[in-house]
Structure formats: C-alpha cells, structure tokens
Structure 1
C-alpha cells in the first residue's frame, strides 16, 4: 500500500478489458492509501469473482462498497465478456452506493498517455488486437497536463494498414501500452477533477464491432 493525494475520492477502479486472466482492481481509500489487486478469472469466472474480490479489497481498508465516492471502469474496446461484466458491475455499484461513475475508453488508459510522456499536441495511434486480422485504432491528440487527451475513434481497420513508428502504441504489448486498473483510475481521476461524471443509465461498453456470433448469424441470413 502507498500514499495517494489527500483530496482523492474513495475510488474503486475496474479493468476487465483484456479478458483472460488479466483482470485487475485498484482501490484508493479516504486515508489516501491505495492497493492494487489481480483477479483470478480462470474458467471465465469473472462475474462470480468480481463482487467478492471487490468487497474483500474494500474490507481490508475498513470500508464497504457502499462507502465509495467513485467507481471507474475500462469500457473498451476489448474482451466482450470482460467489458460487459465490468461495466454492469460499475453501473450497479453506482446505483446502489449512490457514487459517481466514470467510464474510460481502454485506449485512453495506456500508461504513455496517462503519465503524459509526450508533449501536448503529440499525435499517437493506439491499437489493440481485434482478432480475425483486424485491429481497433484510436488516433489520440495528447492534452496539456491536467487535461484529458482528445480521441478520434476507436474504429476497426485491417492490421495490414498499420505501419510501425514512434507514434504507434500497441495496447498491452509494451511498457507504454500497459493498461490496468491503476491507469484506468488515473485517467478517470483527471476527468473527475475536471467535473466530468457519466450517467449510470447511459454508460455502456464500447464494443466497436459486433460479436463473432452476431457476425456469423448475419452471414447465415445473407
């Protein structure tokens, strides 16, 4: 555990965007202490694992889920199941606890952007694997310190269209592209301090493409 800004709200951040075994939680309590926790998602147990793990994380800090001031969550693009579970959890927690909720696009939570590594005005291309030979692409303009980046996208493009370069950030595949619940928290906190809040009723996963099952059904109908 480490110390955080005293003015930081009691916050739980959730990142299930990459699915598989990569789920993480990040908690900051009212004493300014933080803790990062990994989720055991083996066997696609994320829906059953998330709530008790989040509750246990709060309990270790003398809190309950109802004590939170803010819940933030990675909304995608990413794992269909992970996004659905994470966003649903954040919405229900916001309803039940009456806390603020902020959804963070996955491509805006990468460490290179969150830590303001690049000068304001820098243009970056953030990509993540969309499977089937495609990638999700977001063009991002880096904002000044304390201000969120400006995204264009995400959109679905062929992986063959992507050329390597200093402006290319591969989501989750290198230090600059690393993203977890702690970077989701920092991206959301920047927005929260700007007065931004999301409507729990309107918050939804950022899927970009239809699921494989839906695409197959479309092919069969045509």
Structure 2
C-alpha cells in the first residue's frame, strides 16, 4: 500500500512516502513554521522523485495533534483535500500516541509531553505489561500543569515529547528522559500508528476530521477576554 505521511504538529515538520510498512522517502519542512508555503511543494517533489502519481496513493496518515494550531490546520486541510481529490483513505493519528510509539521496547511506563503554553502541557501516560508488549494508555489526553503532573508519575517512567525542551528542569530525578533529537514525532511512528488503525478498519472521514486542540488558541483567548466569554 502506498502511503503519504504528513507531520505538521510541531516546528519539526516533515512529509514522507511509505510502501507497505517501509518508509521510502522523507522531506523535512522549514523549522520557521512555514508549513503553508512548504507543504504542497514538498509533497509534489516527493511524488515526482519517487515516480508516483498522486492517484497511486491509497492512504494518507496525518498527525491530528495536539500541537501547533497553525501547523495542524494546514496539515489536516492538506490531507483532507488530497484524499478528496484522489480517493485515498484517511487516518488521523494522535500526537501523544505517535510519541509513545517511538519509546524503547523496554520502557514499561511512558509519559508524553506536548507544550500547551502558560506552564501547561498536553499529557498522557502509557504502560505495558512487559518488554516488547504494546503500550496502553492509562489516562485520557489532558491539559495539565507540567510540574504537578510530572510529580505524580511512577519511578522510572520514560518521559518524552517536544515539551521536554522547555520543562526539563522540572522533571523529577526519579524519571528518565529521552535524549535530545528523539523528542519529536517521527514519521516511522506516524506510519505505525496509522497503519494499525487502518488495518483495524478505523479510518477517518475526509469531511469530518478535525485537529485535536483541547484548549482555545491564544488568539481566541484574547478575543474572549476583549469581548466577553458569551460574545458571538
């Protein structure tokens, strides 16, 4: 199955192509968050270099967040438009699940951190029963205070995610952290999560898929403060 992968939830955006379960091409996007300018040309370049026609893509997997508001909107709209135009299937992957998927097989407890601004994080905790077993979430994805939530995690938990770059100084010494360079969503993990969902028959409606935000954007919060919570 030929698959297009779209990852725009952070500043470390990327697009890729996969044949079956194998990643065959990838292209990094600008770190300046210029996803709208870079995304479509990057996809076109990847397809041209691979010699793949757009309609040969059978599945599109996109990170649906949470993460960068602008990046998610651009990535998901691009994925939906591509599927509508080509007839490809669509799967949206949760950013927390994608991050956890990349954790080492011997990590029995994994926590994912995504920056939610104002000292908060989008957080989720996972555990597995033994080395090599699948990770299962023990909590719903939620917006929490970073320092308070980290203090509740079991000793030895592996902490990962892009918010580590900001909150490393409040991670308790009883926890482990992933090394720098491995804290952002990876295309290989996006592929693994998306293929598992697709193979299980869990696919998304190109008309209905929306980003996972959990909280208003800063622009929306400023508007509400200025006009009142009940203003329309």
Q: What TM-score, normalized by structure 1, do the two folds share?
A: 0.81
SS of structure 1 residue aligned to 2:10: coil
Q: Could you say which residue in structure 2 is the equivalent of 1:92?
A: 81
* Shift, 1:193, TM fit: 1.8
The CA RMSD measured in Å over matched residues stands at 2.7
Aligned to 1:34: 24
Structure 1 position 68, deviation (Å): 0.3
**CA-CA distance at 1:45 after TM superposition:** 2.7
1:129-174 deviation digits (Å, cap 9, x = unpaired) = 1111111112335599797844633211112312254325231343
Residue among 76, 92, 96 paired with 1:103: 92
Is the Cα–Cα contact under 8 Å of residues 140 and 152 in structure 1 kept in the other structure?
yes
Q: What secondary structure does 2:205 align onto?
A: coil
Flag structure 2 segments of 5+ consecutive residues without an equivalent. 165-177
Give the number of aligned pairs: 208
**Aligned mates of 2:135, 2:203 — CA distance in 1:** 14
> In the alignment, which residue of structure 2 is the partner of 1:170?
160
Q: Decide which of 186, 205, 214 is 1:199's aligned counterpart.
A: 205
The residue number in structure 1 matching 2:55 is 66
Contact in 2 for aligned 1:25/1:36 (Cα 8 Å) = yes
Structure 1 residue runs of 5 or longer lacking an equivalent are 1-8
CA pair 203-33 structure 1, distance change in 2 beyond 3 A: closer
Please tell me whether residue 208 in structure 1 is matched to residue 195 in structure 2.
Answer: no
- 1:195 & 1:139 partners in 2: Cα distance? 25
- More moved, 123-132 vs 54-63: 123-132
Choose which of 5, 9, 12 in structure 2 pairs with 1:13.
5
C-alpha displacement of 1:191: 1.5
Who is 1:155 aligned against? 142
Correspondence for 1:46 among 22, 25, 35: 35
Report the more deviating stretch, 174-183 or 194-203. 174-183
TM-score by length of 2: 0.78
Structure 1 partner of 2:112:
126
